[in-house]
A and B are shown apart, each in its own frame.
Chain A
Amino acid sequence: MIVLLPLSAIFIKTAGLGWREFVAVALSRRALAAYRLSFGAAALAAAINAVFGLLVAWVLVRYDFAGKRVVSALVDLPFALPTAVAGIALTALYAPNGWIGSLLPFKVAFEPVGVVVALTFIGLPFVVRTVEPVLADLGADVEEAAASLGAGRWTTFRRVVLPAVLPALVTGFALAFARGVGEYGSVIFIAGNLPFRSEIAPLLIVQQLEQYNYRGATAIAATMLTASFAILVAINLLQAWDRRKMAAL
């Protein structure tokens, strides 16, 4: 009741909008540019996190080093840190006079690439926490078998480890992506919010609301919700696939 009833309100409200008005708002050039940025930056950030998330999960599961427990706790920071706090911290870091921004030859804050930076921060734990248990469950025996058959370390990783963690990795990617598409708090500070350039879709909804254009806000929200729902269904299918694959191992 808490979840379903309110959500249906969005679609009913959109249905009362009429097709022309819907297209005029939800599919305007400015909205399309915002979707492209939101979905593109989220995909890029999720891809970066898939690579580094796998690396971090591997290091945490396989190796021992000083301070490992602290590092493991730190991975969850984006879950615990409020997004507005993350947003202003990242902006200050990557601003032209910031600790990182002053070292880089190109601008990051107030540019589309800033959106990717914020979404990379937000999405990392989704990948690490999804891959970690699968990697931990993967017995040493299959790797030993591969090694005893003459496979090198890289071949074993590519042919034995990677296929086993791939479903979890894809799930983590999808979770990070879904979160990134809708993310607001951490992005609006660093993005600069220039229309057609660094303006994300959730911000567009807020702007419509601030002009009391509830119908416009709803139309954009319905478009995003449809996309989110499709992603959610895909995640559930992936997880079913993941379970079947693990059961077969």
Chain B
Amino acid sequence: MPISLTLFSLAALPFAAALLIAACADRGKALHAMVAAGASALGLALLLSVAGEVLAGVNVAVSAAWVPAIGLDFSLMIDPLGLMFAGLILGIGLLIMIFAHFYLAKGEATGRFFASLMLFQGSMLGIVLSGNILLLLVFWELTSLSSFLLIGFWRDKAEARQGARMALAITGGGGLVLIAGMLMLGIVAGSFDLMTILASAEVVQASPLYPVILVLILIGCFTKSAQFPFHFWLPHAMAAPTPVSAYLHSATMVKAGVFLLARLWPVLAGTDLYTILVAGTGMVTMLLGAWVALFRHDLKAILAYSTISQLGLLVMLLGFSLEAAAIAAVLHILNHAAFKAALFMTAGIVDHETGTRDIRHLGGLAKVMPITAIIGTLAALAMAGIPPLGGFISKEMMLYESLNVSLFGLPWLVPVVATVAATLSVGYSLRFAAHLFFGRPRDPVPHGKAHDPGAGMWAAPAVLVVIAVLLGLMPMLLAGTLVSAVAGAVIGGPAPELGLSLWHGVNLALGMSALAILVGALLLWRHARVLRWSESMRHADAKALFERAMAVTDEAVRKLVVAVHRPSLQRMVFAVLVVVVALVVEGASTAGGGGFTGPRELLPASPVAILAWLLLVAATIAVVSEERQRFRVLVYISVIGLIIALAFVHFSAPDLALTQISVEVVTILLLLLALNLLPKQPKLLSSPSRRLRDGALATVGGLVFGGAAWAMLTRNPNDPISAFHLANSYSGGGGTNVVNVTLVDFRAFDTLGEIIVLGIAGLVIYALLDTTSRGAAGARLRTWQEDMPHSPESHPVMFVMSTRILLPMVLVAGIFIFLRGHNEPGGGFIAGLVVAIAFLLQYLASGFDWTDARRKVGEHVLIGFGVLVAVLTGLGSLAFGANFLSTAFDHFTLPLVGEFELATALLFDLGVFSVVLGAVMLALAQLSHIAQRAARAHAAHEAEMRAEMRRETGAELRPLLPAERPEEPSR
């Protein structure tokens, strides 16, 4: 397989597996675990197939442009550092999947669990394989999200939800900060390509922005890797199932911050600021985590704080900015991944078998679960750094390097802190093993039922412990090449020579190590006393602080939102209109191009035109002033609509006139139907001063827009693109009605968008109306009384008969308008409206039920059909090698009919027709009967209730009174 394909498959594999698992989420957990483990194993095999080349120094990179405009490429690369992390992610991932299969109970949502786990694996792999820092950020955010899902896996537990939310707030928030830092880094370095950035250390460190970049990126790393003061989310993330803790919170996700530090080492490290910030934070975290770990009682909490401490150690080592320290860090990453994942799984096994994780109730388990005891004890000894285990070597190296660093001008500070932290870590490690497996059982209940689990469950930690042991016994053979190559990648230079071994001769580091082990053992011996002393001190509760900070932020945001965003439409509309008017005024005052009135020759107005204008003005004034007479207002509104239609006729726009008139009819029908349910003569609301203010704004707005129209109308147009439409309408589009050809041909893409919007509007209206019969709205509708005088005859014969005779004629007219649209005024829009009016008349005259029963095609079908036809017509042109929505036409002759023309645009127009018809019918027909429908639903419900009660009591009951009569709408 070519190496580029390997890389892409490596990155894609976990996501594909996640999809597959999610797709068969209802199948058994064996299948889920098999897919997850299989994908991990396959990924590991792919990785190993390129490992040789990578370690030999071949830089493997592939790249595909994604969003080139912002420098975002989908580029992957793999170097020794990425290789090691990818190996950890996939290798430990494989073991975790196997462990999880045996750990999770049968009824759990294993599909969701394994899918999230694979999603996480893919995101993590993405981070370590990214060759572009923007891409890296994408995967970084994905790990925060997927870990949120995993920590909160047991949704019904409050602590899981809180832990997940806290982890997301901290790591996600840190991710946002990181984005800012990375963007600045990329801008300073001039590229978002990782390799380019790594090579531009001088530019970056000389930039005045360097401190800002550094701090921002460090915040991202420190939040992810649980460094002080962001460490507190990690213990709360322990609410996750143990396999998740073992995977995310020991071996992978929390190491992402360490990885990024190592990744950006060449470009960021080496300055005093870097050393102080990174090594200082690492030291504090290391000390704090180790101290707290000594006094926790929950097994997973002990491990969580020890992880914080060990991560602090890694961060501190990287902060030293020394080559040898980088080697120590790399080796310790390997060690820590091995023993910490094993320890978490041990804790999981103990929890699984005894039912408790409280170390105060456990003890002496070595007798009943010897295999687990061996695994757990060895792993704990590795964590304590006891020779001959792997942890010893990296700890020795750490202690040795600490002697070479002087922080804040104090040469003794780092070695002392390192020794104290090492002492504490010996203490908590030994306590973990000793109090868990040895001594006498403290509580007979969990001890009594405990036994070793099946091999499936202990196999995974056993493998890891063997590795942890071998890393101590034969470090050079097992990891020499890898560590040297990775260290080379971290420092951005050639792979350093190194000699890893248990025995370094007698030196100061050995003395410190021995002291640490001695005092650590002492701590275990006197643990009870130290614990009492620790508990007597006051502790800051990070969770409470976090919650309080969240509450304060929440309140502040709430106040801000309420202050700027009052739930008043009037205020917002007023603000918007003021801005719009001001913008127009500002634009007009700065625009050049001569005075207010342009040079265009004006058309004289006929008396009829002046009369129409007077009517328009009078109707508008009437609409505004008669606000309590709502029915009358509708009449005025239709006068305005008609005058505008007349204006269209007069100004050479027959298509617009037809459209305007038909839209006017349906709009008025719509408003009438709505008004039926609304208050007819509401009280006035606004105060006189409010009216004066609005009136002033309205006057200014009217003057501004009228003035703009005047300025435009008195100028001659610039040479518009319209000439093209006129010239090509017949020869290119096959139609003489240029407006219609523009709609269905030149600008058909626009039209396609418009009919889709119209269809969506229709469907939204349906959705809003269909659910009206429920809830408060339904209750109000059921008690709604007709407040209008009714004609004694609901369906007058004259009206019914005349509309029925009219229907076929209007339909013929509709077809006629539709067909001639390409050459004469008409077309799909107008025909759709006309036909809709014809049908609506039937609803009006004969009632909803009569008409609806005779309806053959549903409105939804019409909308869907219309959009489909339009899209397919457009796609059809692709088959002939033309662009989307190109049209074709030809002339045919038939006997009697003579020559006629067929254009594919007609099909498109059919789609338009269908959508318009469907949307209009959906809106009006649905609206016309919501009251009846609610009443009907109520009646059905009551009948059902009565039948039920009859069944229960066996007696006839008087009709039920409406259960609750909501307040009559008073206004």
Partners in one complex: no
